[in-house]
Chains A and B, each alone.
Chain A
Amino acid sequence: MKRRTLLAGAALALIKTAAGQVVQTLAPGDPTKTPGPPPSTLGTRSGFEQPRLIASDTSSRTPLQSLMGIITPSDLHFQRHHGGVPTIDPFKYELLIHGMVERPTVFTLRDLRRFPSVSRICFLECSGNFRSGKPNMTAQEICGLTSQAEWTGVLLSTLLREVGVHPSATWFLAEGSDAAVMTRSIPLHKGWDDAMIAYGQNGEALRPEQGYPARLLLPGWEGNTNVKWIRRIEVSDGPFMTREETAKYTYAIGGGKFRQFSFEMDARSIITFPSYPQQIDKGWVEIQGLAWSGRGRIGRVEVSTDAGRQWAPAQLHGPVLPKAHTRFSYLWQWDGRPTEIMCRATDETGYRQPTLSGLAAARGGHTDGYHLNPITAWEIRRDGQVFFKPEKWK
C-alpha cells in the first residue's frame, strides 16, 4: 500500500474480492465524503479484483473464467518456459538470420522496429492444454494454457526478403536465448504466410514471460513453436529433429505410431460462465464462453443444455477474427432441474470440435497429452452449483 494512498484518508481492512478471496485493501468507506488518491504514474487493478495465474513448476494457467471480452491482460497471459525467464538487455539484443540465404544478417531491436510494422489479434495455445479427472476443476485448470493478445512486430516475410532466401530452402530453425536455448523447426511456408517477429503485446513491449524483447509468433500454431526470446533463425532444406519436436510434442495415434509436426491448433471452445466453482439461480442465465481455431475464423458455436442431446446456435460476439479467441453467448432459462451444459465450435474450414471419445477413436484409443481439444461439459446440480463433468471414454 503506497503512503500517499493511505494519506488520502482511507484505512486498511480485510475485504472479499469479486472472486470470493479475502484480501487486505483500502476500507471502502463512503467515497463521496473523502477525496481519493491523486493521479498516479501507473494504474492498478481495483483491490476487489485479484485474478491470478495458477503456477506450477512448468507452466502458469490463465484464469479464463475471470476474463471479459477477448483480450487476455498481459500479466494474465499463460506461461510455459523450458529454462526459466531470461533477462535480456534490449540494447544488446540481436537476431541472426543465416543458413540458406544470400545475405546472412544481424538485426538489432532497433533494426526490427524500423521495418514496416503490423499488429494482429490472435490466440496462443500450448498444445498440452488439457487436464481432466475430477469434478472440482475450473476452466483455468482444464484449459488455461490459451491466451490472446494484440501482437505487434515485423512480418517474417519482410525479413526473409531482406536476407534473400535460397529457392530450394524448405524449413527454418528458430532458436531462443533462454537457458534451454530452445529450438523448433518450422516449415518455411509459414514464414512467408503470416509469421511475425513480435516485439509488442497489448500496446506495450512484450512481457519478459512472453519473450522480451522479441519472439517468433506463428498465428494458430502450437504454442511451443512460437519461440520466445528469439536470437537465431537458420534457413535450411529440412527439419533439425530437435528434442522438442521428437521426444516432446509428439503423440500416439495407434498402430505403434506417433504423430509429429502437428502445428495447427484445432478448433475448440469452452463455457467460462457458468463453470466450477460458480453457482447459478433459477431463471435466465447468459451462458458465456470462448471459441477459437488455428485454421481460421470460428464459423459457429453450438450450445447444449441437455447433456448433448440437442444443440442450438450460440451468438458470436464481434470481432470474429481469424485464429483468434471469439466470445460467444447463449441465453438460457434454467428450470432448476439438474442437467449438463456444453458447447462445440466449428471453424470456417468445417472442422467441428470432437468429444474426447471421438479423439480417442481417431487415435487408436490413445489420448496421451498433446493436441487434445475435446468438448467440455459442466454439470449443473439442483442447488445451482456447477461442477466439471470429466468425459469417460474408456
Chain B
Amino acid sequence: MRCLKAACRPASISILLLLSCRRAPERFGFGRPAAAHEIDSMAIAIRPDGRGLPRGSGDAVTGQVIYAAKCAACHGVTGREGSSPRLVGDTGKTIGNYWPYATTVFDYIRRAMPLNAPGSLSNDEVYSLTAYLLSANRVITEKTMLDSARLAAVRMPARNLFVNDRGR
C-alpha cells in the first residue's frame, strides 16, 4: 500500500500540473514582421565605429552659420556661454575634453537638437554642425570636410578617459 501511494503521487501531481498550467510555447506568434524600409526609417542610431552614418557632408564654415542661427541662443555665441551645456573649450565638460566619440556628436544633434525643433536638421546640416563643433574644439581643422568615412576616423581627445564600472 505504501509503495502504491508513493508510485501514484508523482503521477497524479504531474497530471494536475498539465491540466492547470501548460508550458509556454517557444513562440507565441504575436506581432508582425518588420519591413526593411520601416527599419531603415527608424534605425537612426550611429555606432562609435561609424556604422549608421548617412550619406552627406559638411564643413565648419557652413556649420558656424547654422550654429549662429539655431544653436547660439542657448549654447552661447562661441559655445562657451549660454544657459545650456558648454560645448567648446577646456573649462567644464565639453565636447573637446569629455566626449569620447565624434559619432555621438552627430547622433545626438540629429535626434535631439535644436531643443525647440528636434529632428528638423538635414544630414548635411548635422555634418556641418558636427564639423564646426569639432573644429571649435580644435579636434579637426576648419577646412576639414566631414562625411561618414572622415567622421568615423576622428579620434577624440577624451577617447581614453573612461573606465567601465566593474560593479564592485
Contact = CB atoms under 8 A, between A and B. Distances in A.
Interface string A244-256: 0011001001001
A241 B112 contact: no
Given A111-B31, A240-B46, A351 B168 contact: yes
A98 interface: yes
Nearest to B83: A57
B96 to A, nearest CB: 12
A176 B167 CA distance: 26
Given A96-B39, A257-B162, A258-B161, A161 B26 contact: yes
A259 interface: yes
Contacts of B93: 247
Interface in B8-34: 24, 26-28, 30-34
Ranked nearest first, the 9 interchain pairs of A and B with the lowest CB-CB distance are A104-B34, A262-B165, A243-B108, A181-B111, A105-B31, A107-B31, A260-B162, A241-B48, A111-B30
Interface string B118-144: 110000000000000000000000000
Interface stretch (A23-31, A37-45, A231-239, A273-281): A231-239
Interface of B: 24, 26-28, 30-34, 38-39, 42-48, 85, 93, 95, 98-101, 103-104, 107-108, 111-112, 115, 118-119, 161-165, 167-168
B79 to A, nearest CB: 14
Given A104-B34, A240-B48, 12 more contacts: A105-B33, A107-B30, A107-B31, A180-B112, A181-B112, A234-B45, A238-B47, A240-B107, A250-B162, A260-B162, A260-B164, A351-B168
Among B31, B32, B111, B168, max chain A CB count under 10 A is at B31
B168 to A, nearest CB: 7
A162 B34 CA distance: 13
A114 B32 CA distance: 13
A161 B27 contact: yes
Interface in A93-139: 96-99, 103-108, 111, 114-116
A47 interface: no
B26 to A, nearest CB: 7
Given A96-B42, A106-B32, A107-B31, A263 B104 contact: no
Interface secondary structure of B, over-half rule: loop
Contacts of A83: 112, 115, 118
30 contacts: A104-B33, A104-B39, A106-B31, A108-B31, A111-B31, A114-B28, A115-B28, A181-B44, A183-B45, A231-B42, A238-B48, A240-B45, A240-B107, A241-B48, A241-B101, A242-B45, A246-B99, A246-B101, A247-B104, A253-B163, A256-B161, A258-B161, A258-B162, A260-B162, A260-B163, A260-B165, A261-B164, A262-B165, A263-B167, A351-B168
B165 A106 contact: no
B74 to A, nearest CB: 12
Among A82, A108, A115, A247, max chain B CB count under 10 A is at A247
Contacts of B30: 107, 111, 114-115, 162
A114 B25 CA distance: 13
Contacts of A238: 47-48
Contact of B38 (A96, A162, A175): A96
A182 B162 CA distance: 21
A103 B35 CA distance: 10
Nearest to A251: B165
A7 B118 CA distance: 49
Nearest to B101: A241
A234 B32 contact: no
B165 A181 contact: no
